[in-house]
Amino acid sequence: MRVGEGLGGLARLRLSRGELGFVYFEFSALAVSTAEHRLLFDPAELVRREEVSAWKPHLLLITHEHFDHLEASRLVELQRTSGGTVVCNPGSYSMLKGKVGKLVQLKAGGSVEVEGARITGIGAEHPAKEPLMFLVESGGLTLFHGSDSSFTAGLEKCRAEVAFVPAGAPSPTASVEDALRMSRTLGCRVAVPFHCSPDEAEEFGRKAERELPGVRVVIPEPGKVYKI
Ligand SMILES: [Zn+2]
């Protein structure tokens, strides 16, 4: 359900346990609110400091150090404005060390708890330094963020109610088929394709209708607020 615009709109959402609101930007940049936390993923240069002052994230999560996921000076600004904790893969950690106040390095298979949210790192398949995907348990649900990875064996033991799945361009590792396999393996009830072209998002939607019965697909329009 679309219920508003931008991070200001997301800040006004009222959420009960098990509910989730989100705003999608581009690539894997995503803002998520649960009943208990505000989570900003891979903002790159796509999220402005002024927007974050209206919706202060508790957590800034970075999957890997590529430009479409991390822009170090912008991240420093976003962290200062929000006061949130940065949780990131080793490649991003080397770029941010000494620049960001609250910085936590996470490795594949590792898990950390920040302000009551549990974040688990899953090894991603992508040409970066130990890139990650994330599972986050918060506000009575588990959500998955797939960065721009292909499917990996580490996902076999993971479950998530809501899955943000990379479906293609401009990643050499993500694809519609990998996104379908991720959604099926995670047993999600809602799948949101991202990091892809509009055609790939449509293709994901068509195939999911046939191959993933019972899974609701939300194709996100950038900047809109969705409530699940
Ligand atoms: Zn990417």
- Domains in the chain (CATH in brackets) are 2-227 (3.60.15.10)
Residue written as tokens 């957590």? Answer: 59
**pLDDT, tens digit, 9 for 90 and up, residues 47-105:** 999 999 989 999 999 999 999 999 999 999 999 999 999 999 999 999 999 999 899 99
Q: Which two tokens stand for residue 141?
A: 């649900």
Q: What is the pLDDT of residue 89?
A: 98
Q: What is the pTM of this model?
A: 0.97
Spacing of C-alpha 26 from chain mean position = 11
The Å distance, Cα 63 to ligand 1 centre, comes to 9
pLDDT tens sequence across 125-142: 999 999 999 999 999 999
Distance 24 CA to ligand 1 centre (A): 14
Q: How far is the CA of 228 from the centre of ligand 1 (A)?
A: 25
> How much distance in Å is there from the Cα of 170 to the middle of ligand 1?
6
CA distance 193 to 200: 9
On the question of pLDDT at 18 being above 80, the answer is: yes
Q: Is the pLDDT of residue 114 over 90?
A: yes
CA–CA distance, 42 with 30 (Å, rounded to integer)? 7
| Residue-wise pLDDT tens digits, 140-160 | 999 999 999 999 999 999 999
From ligand 1's centre to the CA of 133, what distance in Å? 12
Q: Give 162-207 pLDDT, tens digit per residue.
A: 999 999 999 999 999 999 999 999 999 999 999 999 999 999 999 9
User: What is the spatial distance between Cα 96 and Cα 93, in angstroms, rounded to a whole number?
Assistant: 5
In the reported structure, the alpha carbon of residue 16 is separated from the centroid of ligand 1 by a whole-number distance in angstroms of 32
Q: How far is the CA of 64 from the centre of ligand 1 (A)?
A: 9
- Which residues hold their Cβ within 5 A of ligand 1, which is an ion? 68, 148, 171
pLDDT for the residue 184: 98
Q: Are 138 and 165 in contact (CB under 8 A)?
A: no
User: What is the pLDDT confidence band of residue 3, given thresholds at 50, 70 and 90?
Assistant: confident
Spacing, Cα 68 to ligand 1 middle (Å): 5
User: How far apart are the two ends of the chain, measured CA to CA in Å?
Assistant: 7
Cα of 105 vs centre of ligand 1, distance in Å, is 20
Rounded to the nearest angstrom, the distance between the alpha carbon of 43 and the centre of ligand 1 is 11
CA of 33 to the centre of ligand 1 (A): 22
What is the predicted pLDDT for the residue at 2? 74
Distance 28 CA to ligand 1 centre (A): 7
**CB hemisphere CA count around 5 (13 angstroms):** 0
DSSP 68: T
Sign of CA dihedral 91, 125, 164, 119: negative
**pLDDT value at 4 more than 90:** no
Distance from the Cα of residue 93 to its chain's centroid: 18
